[in-house]
Structure 1
Amino acid sequence: MTHGKPFTTLFLGGDLMCARGIDQILPYPGDPRLHEACVKHAGDYVQLAERRNGPIPRPVDFAYAWGAALDEFRRRRPDLRLVNLETAVTRRGRPQPKGINYRMNPANLPLLEVAGIDCCALANNHLLDWGEAGLLDTLSGLDAHGLQHAGAGIDEAGATAPAVLSLPGGRLLFFAFATEDSGVPAHWAADRLRPGVARLDDLSPRSLERIARLIRAAKRPGDRVVLSIHWGGNWGFAIPREQVDFAHGLIDRAGVDLLHGHSAHHIKAIEVYRQHLILYGCGDLLDDYEGIDGYRAYRGDLGLLYFAELDGAGRLVALELQPTCQRRLSIQRAEGADRQWLQDTLSRECGRFGCGVRPTSENGFALVWADTPC
């Protein structure tokens, strides 16, 4: 990957789910009580992970959960680091009647700072797990730590506004939205008088035009635009035609340079459309599912760190992928059979969109497509 300007290198992470077991091993564990059908104490998720892969020290420092990812950040030095924060950051609120409610103690927000995270997408199906109080605490906590965010706000204008991030020689506009099929109910949508998330009713031309208007209102000449979208269910490699059409429309008609998709707990296909990157599903960056059985065919414990290089016009120059494996509630390097599974899965799923992957000297993968720059 080249590092000369005017190229911009972005790190894009999938779902950062730093609640329950993750929160319990950090320096300031929050209230461990859960309101789930089977599990009533967050520490049980730590014990499940320990049964699978061995003992986990407690407390750990804030760098622990990031593990090998920190080495990649130091080596690659991306200009911006963007993730989907799928956790309320609060001590307050009432658990919403939805079965699973995520929250992290605000005192543990240095978890994001130690990794140098610049901006969080907040439009997802867990941000309001603890009601409006939890949402407002999340917003104020991120603001207090200098962490930018998009996709939620005290009203619709705030929720749909982009985070404006500085780049060498320009700006990046980061928008975030969520769809109903990712588990975001209609009453979570921000409106003129109600806090909430930036929610799309559907993937219709009307929704596309709504986003296009927002981008036109915010964009200046030279800006690059990333749109983060939480869409689809938790499991399944299939990409619905309506997602493909919507992604293409965002690039063709709304001025989006890169689409950062997520929701499924496993990696999904990657497409390069007219030299613009579409990540249909980044998988989970960090969660506490390590000791939970089920859906083994999807290998939710395996993931990728996405490093995208864009030119001055927002076109994709290179995408490097670092394979990861979650072990002992920490992001580790995927090796051997795990790395091979990721390579085979990427080759199969990306092949449907005319893309492939090749191994790199850093034990990762590089995306290749028909018009890959030399």
Structure 2
Amino acid sequence: MEAADLAICHLETPVAPPGGPYRGYPSFAVQPEILDALAGAGYDLCSTASNHSLDDGADGLARTLDVLDAARIAHSGTYRTETESVEPTIVDAGGVRVGHVAGTYALNGGGPPAGREWSVEVAAVPDVTGMLAAAARARAAGAQVVVASLHCCLEYDNDPTEAQVAAVRALLASPDVDLVLGHHAHVVQPYEQVAGEWAAYGLGNSIAEHATRGYPTEDSVMARFTFTRGAEGRFTVTRAEAVPLQIVVGGDDVTVRPADEANFDRVADVLARRGATAAGLDIVQG
């Protein structure tokens, strides 16, 4: 992780105050120490828009962003103020200005509180108008690359829904978006190249413990994309990689390790379902 010029995570849940009280499914408030661990692992930026963004109310949303700031992890998708909601998230990655936008298909328990609609970027998938506007603001503010993180649509299905595909294609059709990363399914979904640009529909879980219910929720994949500046000055993906991983739950420990042969083959099969390997995706051992 630390070797990456930019490492992006998705933070699904709001954090509780130090010492708790903590809550699990279905309405989360998790240990704030997680964010120090993310920083220590090498993450530079996290998307925060998910169906759980307001599980701990507006206070939990603001607390989460405060703790991310303290850990020096950039973020996008949720906002403490209306002014903050229209300020582009742009970070330096190896001397390149990278913008990031994020949105979620829905919120648990309905939308944001009245008068605070700006607090979470909710996309009425396949309509991603708000995310496209944010990407345009990032580009206008000087971003040389813009990455979009989309939290949607159907859990525990290895194949994206029609609405999910339409939303991803709408994002990639914009001149302001260069790459789409997806999550929410809690299982791995395919990569796809669309008109020369890449999307990873669903990366599975990273550090998580789930009741599997027969689904491969302990399969995961780390996405790696290499951007290169072309002769005309625009950056494009010149190498797309996927590293299959597996989550191992045992006793008090939850760890992530390179996928064993069975997990690797299962993940590789899913990743290739939409023509990604033929388009040049490298599926590599961790």
TM exceeds 0.5? yes
Cα RMSD, aligned residues only: 2.8
Contact 2:7 2:44 in 1 (8 A): yes
Query: What CA distance in whole angstroms lies between the structure 1 residues aligned with 2:171 and 2:225?
Result: 18
Instruction: Give the residue type in structure 2 aligned to 1:351.
Output: G
Instruction: Give the residue type in structure 1 aligned to 2:223.
Output: Y
Change (3 A) 1:103 1:201: same
Structure 1: stretches of 5+ with no match in the other structure: 1-72, 365-374
Aligned with 1:332: secondary structure? strand
Shift of 1:145: 1.7
Q: How does 1:1-374 map to 2 (within 5 A)?
A: 73=1, 77-91=3-17, 100-159=26-85, 161-180=87-106, 183-188=107-112, 193=116, 196-204=119-127, 207-208=128-129, 210-220=130-140, 223-289=144-210, 292-296=211-215, 299-312=216-229, 313-328=234-249, 329-347=254-272, 349-351=273-275, 355=279, 360=284, 363=285
Query: What CA distance in whole angstroms lies between the structure 1 residues aligned with 2:119 and 2:268?
Result: 38
Q: Any idea what the Cα deviations from partners look like across 1:74-122, whole Å, max 9, x if unmatched?
A: 5xx11001011012112289999x9612222224432111111111100
Contact 1:142 1:149 in 2 (8 A): yes
Contact 1:276 1:315 in 2 (8 A): yes
Instruction: Give the residue type in structure 2 aligned to 1:303.
Output: S
Length-normalised TM-score, structure 1: 0.66
Query: What CA distance in whole angstroms lies between the structure 1 residues aligned with 2:282 and 2:125?
Result: 36
Query: What CA distance in whole angstroms lies between the structure 2 residues aligned with 1:344 and 1:214?
Result: 34
Change (3 A) 1:248 1:141: same
Structure number with the bigger relative contact order (C-alpha 8 A, sep ≥ 6) is 1
Contact 1:270 1:355 in 2 (8 A): no
Shift of 1:170: 2.7
Contact 2:125 2:167 in 1 (8 A): no
Aligned with 2:58: secondary structure? helix
Aligned with 2:206: secondary structure? strand
Q: Any idea what the Cα deviations from partners look like across 1:254-313, whole Å, max 9, x if unmatched?
A: 520001111101110111112211111111111012xx34133xx111111111111223
Bigger helix share: 1
Contact 2:182 2:203 in 1 (8 A): yes
Instruction: Give the residue type in structure 2 aligned to 1:117.
Output: Y
Change (3 A) 1:94 1:107: closer
Query: What CA distance in whole angstroms lies between the structure 1 residues aligned with 2:86 and 2:152?
Result: 16
Length-normalised TM-score, structure 2: 0.85
Aligned with 1:219: secondary structure? helix
Change (3 A) 1:228 1:101: same
Contact 1:87 1:127 in 2 (8 A): yes
Contact 2:102 2:131 in 1 (8 A): no
Aligned with 2:223: secondary structure? strand
Query: What CA distance in whole angstroms lies between the structure 2 residues aligned with 1:145 and 1:245?
Result: 35
Structure 2: stretches of 5+ with no match in the other structure: none
Q: Any idea what the Cα deviations from partners look like across 1:34-75, whole Å, max 9, x if unmatched?
A: xxxxxxxxxxxxxxxxxxxxxxxxxxxxxxxxxxxxxxx35x
Equivalent residue pairs, number: 276
Partner of 1:69: none
Identity of aligned residues (%): 23
Query: What CA distance in whole angstroms lies between the structure 2 residues aligned with 1:275 and 1:88?
Result: 35
